[in-house]
Amino acid sequence: MASISSCLLQLPICPPSPSSHCLLLPCSRISSRINPVPAKLLRRVECLTRPTEESDSDTLMSDGSDGNEESTEDLQVAKHRNSDAGADRREFSPGSQRVANSLSDSLGIREPVYEVRDNAILLNLGPLRAIAMEECVFIFNYNRKGGKAFIDALLPRLNPEISNGGPSMPFELEVVEEALNSRIQRLEQRLMELEPRVQALLEVLPNRLTADVLEQLRISKQTLVELGSKAGALKQMLLDILEDPHEIRRICIMGRNCTLKKENDDMECSVPLEKQIAEEEEEEIEMLLENYLQRCESCHGQAERLLDSAKEMEDSIAVNLSSRRLEVSRVELLLQVGTFCVAVGALVAGIFGMNLKSYLEEHVFAFWLTTAGIIVGAVVAFFLMYTYLKARKIF
């Protein structure tokens, strides 16, 4: 976990609220003494920081692959309900640490992961890695682009002025929805930035084959492959969730006194109202996932179409370059045939140029006759070779 920046200490001080959302930024040197610095952010976001003079060497996670401990930046957004001003807030408890540590192994997987385990939802969406629970969410590497975009989008959702007093989704579902929305928006944004460049390259390339343009096409194609792969993996993850109603129902019973039957996965709740609410949430989750699945499929399809266009342009460029190479090869072969014919004439001239008497040097007409014979013979040999090669369809 990363240390807290000094700018957080400059936030305006406000009293705690009975109903508040807390933004906990536990640093790697956090100890039992934590000074709350409440900051009025949306629904009274409370930032808990630690005095700068205290230090400790504890970390939340360690990477055991190479034996070196690495600090993992961690952000915890906690949601308080009916809490007093003097109540002891222990959101970042040892139990939360155990949950984070038990789920941290799956966060190293590169493919998107959406898993319900130990009353927590594990999210691994590339740069965005989080553990959503009923009252809080752990965000790993929150200072990266994916984490920052997720936080910027999540905090406004917690604003009561935006919700207009209507019924709100459970906290963990809000986190999941905003995580999917943030990730898909990131893919859509990159695709929107890349599409005009690809279209411009497709218009320029047939008539302008330069190293710079070809390099831009290669980079654009590589980016499209990456975007298509990420969108496809995310689409497959959503499809797997929609095809597994057991996973969705496990989300619905989080935080409720409900269980799932092993025979048919039906929900059993001690309170009938909770069962009704859980069933309604199940439908909402399915519609939510279907909505993001459609967006993800659209993004994946657009990336595939642009990639196909780039591949077709590469094929066209390859055909064009092959045609040019064929022309160069024909000219090269033509020059080689001409060189061969001239070399034969040079051989004849070399024979007559030896310092041996043949009695032809005594006659003037012999020089002109030999010269004319060499020229005519070279031309005739050239046309004979050309006709032969053309008959064999080499030219």
d(CA 123, CA 152): 17
- Helix 171-204 / helix 245-252 crossing angle, nearest 10 deg: 130
Q: Please say which residue of 128, 146, 168 terminates a domain.
A: 168
- pLDDT for position 11: 31
Token readout for 101 is: 């540590």
Contact in structure between 120 and 99 (CB atoms under 8 Å): yes
> What is the average pLDDT across 192-197?
89
Q: What is the mean pLDDT of residues 142-154?
A: 80
- pLDDT of amino acid 162: 60
Is 70 inside any structural domain?
yes
Containing structural domain, residue 375: 325-391
Query: DSSP letter string over 185-213?
Result: HHHHHHHHHHHHHHHHHHHHGGG---HHH
Least confident of 35-49, 59-73, 123-137, 172-186: 35-49
- In this predicted structure, which of 130-144, 159-173, 347-361 has the lowest mean pLDDT? 159-173
Structure pTM? 0.61
Q: Identity (one letter) of the amino acid at 170?
A: P
Residue 315 located in a structural domain: no
pLDDT, mean of residues 132-142: 80
Confidence of residue 243 (pLDDT cuts 50, 70, 90): confident
Domain presence at residue 91: yes
| ∠ CA 193-129-181, rounded to 5° | 45
Structure tokens at 49: 């920081």
What confidence category does residue 40 fall into, taking pLDDT thresholds of 50, 70 and 90? very low
Sign, Cα dihedral of 292, 295, 301, 307: negative
**Measured CA angle at 261 (ends 260, 265), to 5 deg:** 75
Instruction: Give pLDDT, residue 161.
Output: 64
In a domain, 317, yes or no: no
pLDDT higher for 166 or 210?
Answer: 210
Residue 342 lies in a domain: yes
Residue 218 has pLDDT above 60, yes or no: yes
> Among residues of the chain, what percentage have pLDDT more than 70?
66
Q: How confident is the model at residue 47 (pLDDT cuts 50, 70, 90)?
A: very low
Considering its fold, how many domains does the chain have in total? Answer: 2
137 compared with 79, residue with greater pLDDT: 137
Which DSSP letter does residue 220 get?
H
Whether residue 296 lies inside any domain: the answer is no
